[in-house]
Amino acid sequence: MRVYAVDVLVIGAGAAGMAAAAAAAREGARTVLLERGERLGGVLEQCIHPGFGLHRYREELTGPEFAHRLRGELEDSGADVLTGITALEVFPDGPKVKAVSPRGLKAFSPKAVVWAAGARERPFGALRIPGTRPAGIFTAGLAQRLLDLEGFLPGKRAVILGSGDIGLIMARRLHLEGVEVAAVLEIQPFPGGLTRNVVQCLHDFGIPLLLSHTVAEVHGRERLTGITAVRVDEHRRPIPGTERHIEADTLILSVGLIPEVRPIEGLVALDPVNRGPRVNGWLQTEAPWLFAAGNCVAVFDLVDTVAELGERAGAAAARYAVGELPAGKKVPLVRGENVTALVPSYLDGAAEGARIYLRVPRPLEGVTVDLGGVVRRPVRVARPAEMIGITLDGDALSELSRREEIVVEVKRSG
């Protein structure tokens, strides 16, 4: 088996991977970007709705347009791109990455790796919903792919479970393509997606959103014929007597994304809440040569953030490859009150320009994000769907990096 020696190997050509490879190559590193699909762009290619790039390009683009811009940056950078190759295993020593393509196995011996493999959808089997197992049940990403890339309608009358952004966007796409959307069910008492998506995808088209509801049972032998919807209490337990039948031949599941970490999970510690690798302010994992960026670290709401973190990881990997990445004291960030997703897991005093991203568990009004009592940022309305990003200036970074740990919390202001 031929072994390819490179400085930086980037795995996954979504927004994070393309931005990482371009940044690494711009730093002068010999860079290869591996993608298992035939096209570059990852999930962006099937997101044909607008809403991408407002921060990065100051324009509202569709997913494919955003991917096109990044492909241009990648081409200009001089990074090499290999498509149709899947990274199978990542090892701590020797040729660090084994990959397979239709032409056989390949091995890569990079000085640094950027893992940018995105996230996968939580499948129907993980939900343990009683009933039959007919055709007509799709994850939202699969339905989106069928509709937007392959040109197939998944059915005629749909129920959507989950009001995250993907569920909301699919409700609108299905409606616009002539599928009747009977309802969007959300188990939480608040919508899971961005407010703009609730308004633009549901309210504008009169699609009902049933909060504190879930699917109690699916019906149908060959094809789905309907579902039983039920109201849930504050502990998400079904309330007896609130069941109602909704006729539908299609159930779309938008019930969460899980960071893709299989080939690296034995190598590095994962964060139990983010479910991706623990990283420092350079996006460097606990294996110093392995960096990670994008939805494989934690699920991000905006592609602009994903691309920004990809760039940071790629540039840092290139500096690591030539022994020029500064290392400072590693200070753990600890979740305090009202914090779920939190990136990075450590602050590194040398990681200038680091940003901290976090999510809250439920909508909160009039709160302050507090980083170890050193940085306090008031937030008028914090929503679980919207990640809060905080940039640390040099003074805050040097003060915080003297600590043993930094508690990150979101408290009522005043």
Ligand X SMILES: Cc1cc2nc3c(=O)[nH]c(=O)nc-3n(C[C@H](O)[C@H](O)[C@H](O)COP(=O)(O)OP(=O)(O)OC[C@H]3O[C@@H](n4cnc5c(N)ncnc54)[C@H](O)[C@@H]3O)c2cc1C
Q: Which residues of this chain interact with ligand X, rule CB under 6 A? A: 11-17, 34-37, 42-44, 47, 51-52, 86-87, 116-118, 141, 144, 165-166, 169, 260, 294-295, 300, 302-304, 306
Q: Would you say 228 or 345 has its CB closer to ligand X?
A: 345
Q: Would you say 90 or 406 has its CB closer to ligand X?
A: 90
Tokens linked to 203: 């309210």
Rounded least distance, CB 99 to ligand X, Å: 7
Rounded least distance, CB 141 to ligand X, Å: 6
Rounded least distance, CB 137 to ligand X, Å: 18
Identity of the amino acid at 18: M
109: closest CA among 13, 32, 36, 38?
Answer: 32
Rounded least distance, CB 217 to ligand X, Å: 27
Rounded least distance, CB 402 to ligand X, Å: 33
Q: Would you say 141 or 349 has its CB closer to ligand X?
A: 141
Between CA 260 and CA 60 the distance in angstroms is 28
Rounded least distance, CB 220 to ligand X, Å: 26
Between CA 189 and CA 258 the distance in angstroms is 22
* R_g of the chain, CA atoms, integer Å: 22
Between CA 355 and CA 382 the distance in angstroms is 18
Q: Would you say 65 or 337 has its CB closer to ligand X?
A: 65
Between CA 125 and CA 1 the distance in angstroms is 38
Between CA 140 and CA 158 the distance in angstroms is 11
Between CA 12 and CA 349 the distance in angstroms is 29
Tokens linked to 297: 């670290």
Between CA 10 and CA 19 the distance in angstroms is 10
Between CA 201 and CA 170 the distance in angstroms is 8
Q: Would you say 158 or 232 has its CB closer to ligand X?
A: 158
According to DSSP, the β-strands at 209-211 and 213-219 are unpaired
Rounded least distance, CB 162 to ligand X, Å: 12
Rounded least distance, CB 274 to ligand X, Å: 13
Q: Would you say 231 or 278 has its CB closer to ligand X?
A: 278
Q: Would you say 116 or 160 has its CB closer to ligand X?
A: 116
- Specify the long-range contacts of residues 126-130, CB closer than 8 Å, at least 24 apart: 126/255, 127/253, 127/255, 129/215, 129/216, 129/217, 129/218, 130/216, 130/217, 130/218
Q: Give the HSE-up count for residue 16: Cα atoms under 13 Å, Cβ half-sphere.
A: 27
Q: Would you say 35 or 308 has its CB closer to ligand X?
A: 35
